[in-house]
């Protein structure tokens, strides 16, 4: 960090005492609920920076389909772990855990607080609680990929449902590489993939305040539909076409991208693609809420209830002897 940036930070986030535990404010919720606006407002109030916990926004060349924070939003508050990997790079929740904790360790050397924001439940869990080491077996993976080609995805999904119904119910079963990976772990370990996500919590050298965002179902559906329409208007089709050299990458076997396969084969129109993206995004949002609602200690708010969110921050800061917090928010995606 350069000297000018450091000098601009307020005493609220500076000069952490050796015995003072830092605070990580976590903003979670389903896609399109409004996490970015709240995270920016919180980071501004606390004079700190944001770590992005989104498994797709880490990739370059995908700003529209993954709804990355805009250049304006990233200029307002620095965001980390956004737009830094090529689409065909391999990046796991375990790698994110390692990288994010390393960043936090350095940041908390002198700073009191930071914000973690995102909708990837496993990434959030990795930072807050830690993950068990997950086994890998390239021989099994190769065999599963061969079966994927010869037998199709549905057969593998059915097998995963038998071996790990819990994980199959909460994951994106239309993503072939994630299905293959989950099956690989089940077959290599003899245990359900979900069992590696339920270990005892690792103690972290920081405290957490978790803010959960939710909206009424009809309201969230409307926001999802409007967001997809805006993505189409903003050039999602052109973005996807530019990514076609990376088409086999796992990052592109996800909502907003894989639906274009039928368009390029001539089966669907662009309007049909948009409607499928809306449907699958709604399904994805439901899975996200299922995951987040299992988390303990979450303070749930409607994103527009700024004063209620501010009050939780004020109480937390007052308990730490920090100065008053003023939260202002521009409501948006």
Q: What is the pLDDT of residues 225-240, one digit of tens each?
A: 999 999 999 999 999 9
Query: Residue 9 pLDDT more than 60?
Result: no
CA distance 53 to 122: 9
Q: With a cut of 60, say whether residue 318 has pLDDT above it.
A: yes
Could you tell me the CATH superfamily of domain 3-131+199-319? P-loop containing nucleotide triphosphate hydrolases (3.40.50.300)
- The residue among 177 and 192 whose pLDDT is bigger is 192
The whole-chain average pLDDT of the chain stands at: 90
The pTM assigned to this predicted structure is: 0.85
Question: Which pLDDT band, with edges at 50, 70 and 90, does 135 fall under?
Answer: confident
Stretch among 5-19, 72-86, 194-208, 302-316 having the lowest mean pLDDT: 5-19
pLDDT over 70, % of the chain: 92
- Contacts with 171 (C-beta within 8 Å, 6 or more apart), sequence order: 178, 179, 182, 287
326-331 contact pairs (CB < 8 A, 24+): 326/45, 327/41, 327/42, 327/45, 328/41, 328/44, 328/45, 329/37, 329/38, 329/40, 329/41, 330/37, 330/41, 331/34, 331/37, 331/303, 331/304
Q: Give me the pLDDT at residue 291, please.
A: 93
What was the pLDDT predicted at 16? 62
* Chain Cα centroid distance, residue 187: 27
Segment 75-94 shows an average pLDDT of 94
Q: Tell whether the model's pLDDT for residue 10 goes beyond 60.
A: no
Rounded mean pLDDT, 299-322: 95
Look at the alpha carbons of 42, 44, 47, 50 in this order and tell me if their dihedral is positive or negative.
Answer: positive
Band of pLDDT at residue 330, cut at 50, 70 and 90: low
> What are the pLDDT digits (tens) for 202-222?
899 999 999 999 999 999 999
Instruction: Give residue 240's pLDDT.
Output: 97
In angstroms, rounded to a whole number, what is the distance separating the alpha carbons of residues 160 and 154? Answer: 10
Q: Residue 116's closest CA among 29, 31, 33, 201?
A: 29
pLDDT (average), residues 192-203: 77
Domain ranges of the chain: 3-131+199-319, 138-197
Q: 138-197: which CATH number, 3.40.50.300, 3.30.450.20, 1.10.340.30, 1.10.20.140?
A: 1.10.20.140
pLDDT score recorded for residue 17 = 63
Say what angle helices 121-128 and 270-292 make with each other, to 10 degrees: 30
Binned at pLDDT 50, 70 and 90, residue 6 comes out as: very low
| Residue 170 confidence (pLDDT) | 82
């Amino acid at each position: 960090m350069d000297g000018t940036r450091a000098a601009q930070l307020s005493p609220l986030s500076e000069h952490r005492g050796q015995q003072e535990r830092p605070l990580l404010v976590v903003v979670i919720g389903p896609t399109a609920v409004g996490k970015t606006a709240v995270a920016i407002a919180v980071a501004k109030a606390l004079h700190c920076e944001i770590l992005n916990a989104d498994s797709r926004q880490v990739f370059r060349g995908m700003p529209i389909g993954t709804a990355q924070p805009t250049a304006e939003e990233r200029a307002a508050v620095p965001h980390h772990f956004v737009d830094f990997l090529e689409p065909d790079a391999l990046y796991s929740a375990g790698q994110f855990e390692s990288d994010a904790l390393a960043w936090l360790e350095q940041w908390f050397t002198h700073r009191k607080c930071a914000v973690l924001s995102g909708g990837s439940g496993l990434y959030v869990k990795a930072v807050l609680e830690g993950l068990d080491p997950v086994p890998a077996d390239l021989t099994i993976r190769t065999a599963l990929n061969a079966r994927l080609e010869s037998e199709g995805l549905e057969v593998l999904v059915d097998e995963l449902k038998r071996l790990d119904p819990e994980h199959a119910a909460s994951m994106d079963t239309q993503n072939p590489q994630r299905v293959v990976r989950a099956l690989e772990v089940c077959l290599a370990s003899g245990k359900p993939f979900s069992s590696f996500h339920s270990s005892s919590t690792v103690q972290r050298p920081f405290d957490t305040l978790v803010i959960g965002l939710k909206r009424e179902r009809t309201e969230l559906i409307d926001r999802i539909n409007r967001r997809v329409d805006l993505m189409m208007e903003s050039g999602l089709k052109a973005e996807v076409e530019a990514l076609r050299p990376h088409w086999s990458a796992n990052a592109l076997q996800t909502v907003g991208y894989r639906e274009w396969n039928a368009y390029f084969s001539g089966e669907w129109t662009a309007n049909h693609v948009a409607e499928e993206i809306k449907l699958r995004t709604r399904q994805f949002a439901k899975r996200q809420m299922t995951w987040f609602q299992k988390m303990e200690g979450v303070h749930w708010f409607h994103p527009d209830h700024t004063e209620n969110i501010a009050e939780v921050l004020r109480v937390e800061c007052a308990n730490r002897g920090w100065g008053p917090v003023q939260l202002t928010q521009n409501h948006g995606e």
